[in-house]
Chains A and B, each alone.
Chain A
Amino acid sequence: DTEVTQTPKHLVMGMTNKKSLKCEQHMGHRAMYWYKQKAKKPPELMFVYSYEKLSINESVPSRFSPECPNSSLLNLHLHALQPEDSALYLCASSQDPLNVLTFGAGSRLTVL
């Protein structure tokens, strides 16, 4: 299994909703990432988990809350988002930090 699976593919939520994005990999990778990508822009790093511990937080607003329940799973909990948070959220994993990243297909989020 060489895939990173993200669910849901599409999510529409209101500014008062609470939702979660999920990411799963079964490649034995020990680093997992969340990136945010706006249209016609490059991916922007949000969080890095290394060996299930949060190692990098790129000053992301607290309305985004990451969670790594185990080495295969990564969640991004969303609460009180703003319309400008609408974007493609990409999960990725790598064997270890600085190694090749494998990206999931992304979750396209729309905040109304």
Chain B
Amino acid sequence: QKEVEQNSGPLSVPEGAIASLNCTYSDRVSQSFFWYRQYSGKSPELIMSIYSNGDKEDGRFTAQLNKASQYVSLLIRDSQPSDSATYLCAVGAGGTSYGKLTFGQGTILTVHP
């Protein structure tokens, strides 16, 4: 089982729609959770961070965390063509691996006009 798994892509949504990205993780003592966006040829940039159960909203983005189910999601409302990128879920380890941030394989999102 991979440490961090994301829903298989690619994901294609029309402009203005909601894009839903999902991620599960295997380490129950994980403490921090992030969504990064990466455009082709560029480095990852932070979209959202979340540390406790529940929802966190920032503009068009909402992150949801459920530690009991070991599940993190990202919703993008009113998707724009500029949102087309690879979205990476990242999970920060606790315990003996404190400081280790592991990325999922990424989900390619395409928003078409």
Check A100 against B46 for contact (C-beta < 8 Å).
yes
Check A98 against B92 for contact (C-beta < 8 Å).
yes
Distance to closest chain B CB from A52 (angstroms): 14
Number of interface residues of A (CB under 8 A): 24
Q: Which residue from B42, B94, B99, B103 sits with its C-beta under 8 Å from A55?
A: B99
Known: A45-B100, A50-B99. A98 touches B45 (CB 8 A): no
Number of interface residues of B (CB under 8 A): 24
A66 cross-chain contacts in B, Cβ below 8 A: none
Residue A81 at the chain B interface, CB threshold 8 Å: no
- Cross-chain pairs A/B with CB under 8 angstroms, 22 sampled: A33-B101, A42-B88, A42-B104, A42-B106, A43-B44, A43-B88, A43-B103, A45-B102, A50-B99, A56-B99, A58-B100, A97-B98, A98-B92, A98-B99, A99-B32, A100-B34, A101-B46, A101-B90, A102-B46, A103-B44, A105-B43, A106-B43
